[in-house]
A and B are shown apart, each in its own frame.
Chain A
Amino acid sequence: MSALDSNEIELDTARGTDVPSPARGRRRKNASLVRDTGAGYAFLSPWLLGFLLLTAFPMLASLYLAFTDYDLFRPPQWVGWENFQALFADRRFLTSARVTAVYVLVGTPIKLAAALAVAMLLNMKHRGQGGYRSVFYAPSLIGASVSVAIVWKAMFIDDGIVDRIQQFFGMEPGGWVGDPDRTMPMMILLAVWTFGAPMVIFLAGLKQVPAELYEAASVDGAGPVRKFLRITLPMLSPVLFFNLLLETINAFQVFSSAFIISGGTGGPADSTLFYTLYLYVKGFTQFDMGYASAMAWVLVVVVGLITAVLFRTSKGWVHYSGDSR
Chain B
Amino acid sequence: MFRSIPRRPSAAGASAVAAALVLAACSSAGADPDVAASLDPDEEITLRVAWWGDDDRAARYTEALELFEEKYPNITIQPSFVAFDDYWTARATEAAGSSLPDVMQFDSSFLREYASTGQLLDVSPFLGEEIDTSELADELIDSGRIDDAVYAVPTATNTLATFYDPGLVEQLGLEPPADDFTWDDLATWVAEASAAGAGEDPALYGSNDYTGIFWAFLQHLVQQGVTPFTDDGQLGFTPEHMTEWLSSGDELRATGAFFPVQRAQQLLPESGFTVNEQALEMSWDNFLAGYVAGTGVDDITMLPVPSGPDGQKHLFARTFQMAASASTEHPAAVAALLDFFVNEPEVGRIFGTSKGVPATQSQRDAMELEPGSVDARVVEYEELMADQITEPAPIPVEGFGALEAEYKRLGEELQYENITVDEFVEQWFAMAESQLGG
Contact = CB atoms under 8 A, between A and B. Distances in A.
A54 interface: yes
B17 A279 contact: no
B26 interface: no
A300 B409 contact: no
Contacts of B5: 249, 303-304, 307
Nearest to A253: B9
B140 to A, nearest CB: 26
Contact of B15 (A54, A263, A279, A287): A54
Interface string B245-283: 000000000000000011111111100000000000000
A268 B12 contact: no
Interface stretch (A173-181, A187-195, A197-205, A219-227): A173-181
B95 interface: yes
A178 B14 contact: no
Contact of B16 (A91, A270, A283): A283
A290 to B, nearest CB: 9
Interface stretch (A7-15, A58-66, A112-120, A315-323): A58-66
Interface string B401-421: 110010001001100101000
Given A72-B92, A180-B416, A285-B402, A62 B10 contact: yes
Contacts of B405: 285-286
A264 B15 CA distance: 19
B93 A72 contact: yes
A154 B114 CA distance: 38
Interface in A261-305: 263-265, 267-270, 276, 279-280, 283-287, 289, 292-293, 295-297, 299-300, 303-304
A300 B9 contact: yes
A285 B261 contact: no
B402 A287 contact: yes
B376 interface: no
B92 A74 contact: no
Contact of B14 (A59, A263, A286): A59
Contacts of B85: 264, 285
B265 A267 contact: yes
B90 to A, nearest CB: 9
B8 interface: yes
A267 B409 contact: yes
Contacts of A285: 85, 88-89, 401-402, 405
A74 B386 CA distance: 40
A178 B263 contact: yes
Contacts of A177: 265-266
B15 A269 contact: no
Contacts of A6: none
A45 interface: no
A297 B416 CA distance: 32
B22 to A, nearest CB: 8
Given A286-B402, A299-B9, A300-B9, A73 B265 contact: no
A233 interface: no
Contacts of A101: none
Contacts of A67: none
B128 interface: no
A157 interface: yes
Contacts of A297: 10
A325 B269 CA distance: 62
B438 interface: no
B21 interface: yes
A277 B271 CA distance: 24
B134 interface: no
A261 B265 CA distance: 10
B262 A179 contact: yes
Nearest to A175: B266
A300 B262 contact: no
A253 B12 CA distance: 9
A252 interface: yes
Interface in A84-130: 91
Interface string A24-65: 000000000000000000000000000001110111011001
B7 A55 contact: yes
A284 B399 CA distance: 12
Contact of B117 (A74, A175, A178, A304): A74
Nearest to B13: A296
A152 interface: no
Given A61-B21, A268-B262, A73 B114 contact: yes
Contact of A55 (B11, B19, B95, B117): B11
Contacts of A299: 9-10
A57 B17 CA distance: 10
B400 to A, nearest CB: 12
Nearest to A265: B409
Contact of A73 (B113, B266, B267): B113
A276 B262 contact: no
Question: Could you say which of B262, B266, B416 has the most chain A C-beta atoms within 10 Å of its C-beta?
Answer: B266
Interface string B46-73: 0000000000000000000000000000
B218 interface: no
B93 A178 contact: no
A263 B268 CA distance: 8
Question: Could you say which of A59, A158, A307 has the most chain B C-beta atoms within 10 Å of its C-beta?
Answer: A59
Contacts of A158: 263, 266-267
7 contacts: A53-B22, A58-B18, A72-B95, A253-B9, A255-B12, A267-B265, A296-B12
Interface of A: 53-55, 57-59, 61-62, 65, 72-74, 91, 157-158, 174-175, 177-180, 246, 249, 252-253, 255, 263-265, 267-270, 276, 279-280, 283-287, 289, 292-293, 295-297, 299-300, 303-304, 307
9 smallest CB-CB distances across A and B, nearest first, come from A58-B18, A178-B262, A62-B14, A296-B10, A73-B117, A178-B265, A58-B14, A72-B96, A296-B13
